[in-house]
Amino acid sequence: MNSKLRPGTAETYPITDRNRAKRLHERAKYDRESVYAILDAGLLCHVAYVIDGQPYCTPTIHWRKGDWLFWHGSAASRMLRNQSKGAQVCVTVSHIDALVLARCGFNHSADYRSAMCFGTARLIDDPNQKAEALREVVDRFYPDRTSLLRPSTDQEIKATSVVGMKIEEAAAKVRTKGVGDEEEDLGLPIWAGIFPVTTVIGAAKASALIPAGTEMPESLKIYAEGRRLDDALLEAQAHYEAE
Amino acid sequence: MNSKLRPGTAETYPITDRNRAKRLHERAKYDRESVYAILDAGLLCHVAYVIDGQPYCTPTIHWRKGDWLFWHGSAASRMLRNQSKGAQVCVTVSHIDALVLARCGFNHSADYRSAMCFGTARLIDDPNQKAEALREVVDRFYPDRTSLLRPSTDQEIKATSVVGMKIEEAAAKVRTKGVGDEEEDLGLPIWAGIFPVTTVIGAAKASALIPAGTEMPESLKIYAEGRRLDDALLEAQAHYEAE
């Protein structure tokens, strides 16, 4: 039992025709812990949705609270206007961990982690829920930051739409095996191996016109120069869940 | 005129209701050069498609040749079986360049580059075209590599499907401005700034059982440790186009 799951939440998502992996079953996982770990390690998701039969794939920033995913944007955006009415969506978060060079073309690959989540997007239009979500989109990434900020104006709140989706089904896929050549190809005089890939944080650059004496808060030091972004995001999520 | 465009190719994609940015018009670009630069700097795309009204968002590796995008996978995969018949898809490639922390919640943002491409996916089933594509999925990333590899077997070729899509319409969105606070918020005693984010290559790890004397080919040194992945991928694409 994963202690992070809310009481009454099953460990595993239902497996249906929608989320069942059609191939490479050994890479697929349907448990919430695996799915959450991939979602929480990223801030960029891609949302697939349909308008008049046409699929769209929009990148946006997501955050997770329990079994809900949230994203937000301009009230005028095509995606959010469409999803306000309650739309089927598929939200995917992916991380590339290594390029994999094998001894034949067929076995070239990549190590990766991805989570594909299905549900119905809904506009968060209750004013209290929306205000909470607009705090959380900041505080989930930057612990306690909204308490330090200039408060949002009514106009800013009105100009922003927040959409939420309960994750109905999900599938995680994880490949970590590096080079997976056929046994009979091992020993061929061909260089094979991996190029690891990581997304890292650079040196923070302060904005102009910050008054002397206003330092970066301690809570932002989780985004230390050189650190892996996925590690920082997981730490920020742990802060958020501990509140 | 971009000299990289093939003769007869317009510099700019048509702008229709499908790809026109509904907001933040100043971030949107419709010229092929801007779209190509974003596509070529990444290897991971997300493909949105629809099966029985349900949207799916599948991550995969893409490559670009002229105005065509390609991706591939198991002939058994749901995505490729569906797209074999000719399916409307939206393929999106996104890069996060910085987390942007402002002086109010509303102006928190990210610097990013994304390209959203629309078209009809088609199975590449001509044997010669397919063989060429299966060479190119390797050689586009790793210059001249297939000439060094154990050749693909008929079974491997049969087990793989390649899908291609002519880009009919596309839109690039690029945000580079960092902190974009309201003028009246400047000078508030609030730390604001950016955390740059880059995806970098780590130290190559050779596979086990490589015979003594088999070194990494010079052509792979574009994936040098510490280098930005997007720079390496752009250099590899330039090699590919020069052939």
Domain interval for residue A97: 25-198
Whether residue B149 and residue A53 make contact (CB cut-off 8 A), yes or no, is no
Residue A1 pLDDT more than 70?
Answer: no
Residue A107 pLDDT more than 60?
Answer: yes
Chain A: residue whose CA lies nearest to B17 = A78
Residue A60 pLDDT more than 80?
Answer: yes
- Please answer whether residues B117 and A161 qualify as being in contact, where contact means their C-beta atoms are separated by less than 8 angstroms: no
B-chain CB neighbours of A24 within 8 Å are: 74
Q: How far is A14 from chain B (nearest CA, A)?
A: 17
Tokens found for residue B13: 């994609």
Q: Is residue A240 part of a domain?
A: no
Q: Is residue B136 part of a domain?
A: yes
**pLDDT-derived band at B99, boundaries 50, 70, 90:** very high
Among A17, A195, A229, pick the best mutation site for testing chain B contact (most B Cβ within 10 A): A195
Q: Is residue B101 part of a domain?
A: yes
* CA pair distance A225, A238, nearest whole angstrom: 20
Beta strands in B107-227 (DSSP E): 109-123, 160-166, 169-175, 193-201, 205-206
Among A17, A19, A22, A46, pick the best mutation site for testing chain B contact (most B Cβ within 10 A): A46
Tokens found for residue A238: 């742990």
Chain B: residue whose CA lies nearest to A145 = B105
* CA pair distance A109, A29, nearest whole angstrom: 19
Least confident of A113-127, B45-59, B67-81, B228-242: B67-81
A-chain CB neighbours of B106 within 8 Å are: 152-153, 156, 159-160
Whether residue A205 and residue B194 make contact (CB cut-off 8 A), yes or no, is yes
Please give the average per-residue pLDDT across B153-157, as a whole number: 94
Q: How far is A111 from chain B (nearest CA, A)?
A: 12
Residue B232 pLDDT more than 90?
Answer: yes
Among B25, B144, B147, B195, pick the best mutation site for testing chain A contact (most A Cβ within 10 A): B195
Please give the average per-residue pLDDT across A233-238, as a whole number: 98
For position B1, what pLDDT does the model report?
Answer: 36
Q: Which A residues 101-160 touch B at CB under 8 Å? A: 101-106, 108, 110, 112, 114, 116, 118, 134-135, 137-138, 141-142, 145-146, 148-153, 156, 159-160
**pLDDT-derived band at A82, boundaries 50, 70, 90:** confident
B-chain CB neighbours of A96 within 8 Å are: 43-44, 199
For position A4, what pLDDT does the model report?
Answer: 61
Residue B4 pLDDT more than 90?
Answer: no
Question: pLDDT above 90 covers what percent of chain B?
Answer: 84
Amino acid, res. A193 = G
Q: How far is B82 from chain A (nearest CA, A)?
A: 12
Whether residue B105 and residue A134 make contact (CB cut-off 8 A), yes or no, is yes
Please give the average per-residue pLDDT across B67-85, as a whole number: 86
Whether chain B has a CB inside 8 Å of the CB on A207: the answer is yes
Query: Which of B101, B153, B223 minimises the CB distance to A142?
Result: B101
B-chain CB neighbours of A137 within 8 Å are: 105, 108
A3-31 pLDDT, tens per residue? 467 667 788 999 998 888 876 777 899 99
Q: Is residue B15 part of a domain?
A: no
Q: Is residue A189 part of a domain?
A: yes
Average pLDDT of chain A?
A: 93
Tokens found for residue B234: 């752009």
* CA pair distance A151, B104, nearest whole angstrom: 6
Tokens found for residue B50: 């629809």
For position A26, what pLDDT does the model report?
Answer: 74
Whether chain B has a CB inside 8 Å of the CB on A214: the answer is yes
CATH number of the domain bearing residue B188: 2.30.110.10
B10-36 pLDDT, tens per residue? 889 999 988 888 767 778 999 999 999
B175-219 pLDDT, tens per residue? 999 999 999 999 999 999 999 999 999 999 999 999 999 999 999
Three-state secondary structure string covering chain A: CCCCCCCCCCCECCCCCCCCCCCCHHHEECEHHHHHHHHHCCCEEEEEEEECCEEEEEEEEEEEECCEEEEEEECCCHHHHHHHCCEEEEEEEEEEEEEEECCEHHHCEEEEEEEEEEEEEEECCCHHHHHHHHHHHHHCCCCCHHHHCECCCHHHHHHEEEEEEECCEEEEEEECCCCCCCHHHCCCCCCCEEEEEEEEECCCEECCCCCCCCCCCHHHHHHCCCCEHHHHHHHHHHHHHHC
Q: Which A residues 30-69 touch B at CB under 8 Å? A: 43-44, 46-50, 53-59, 61
Q: Tokens 């039969």 — which residue?
A: A53
Q: Is residue A161 part of a domain?
A: yes
Instruction: Name beta bridge partners: B162.
Output: B72
Please give the average per-residue pLDDT across A112-131, as a whole number: 96
Model ipTM over 0.90: yes
Amino acid, res. B75 = A
Question: pLDDT above 70 covers what percent of chain A?
Answer: 97
| Structural domains counted in chain A | 1
Please give the average per-residue pLDDT across B93-113, as a whole number: 97
Q: Is residue A241 part of a domain?
A: no
Q: How far is A10 from chain B (nearest CA, A)?
A: 24
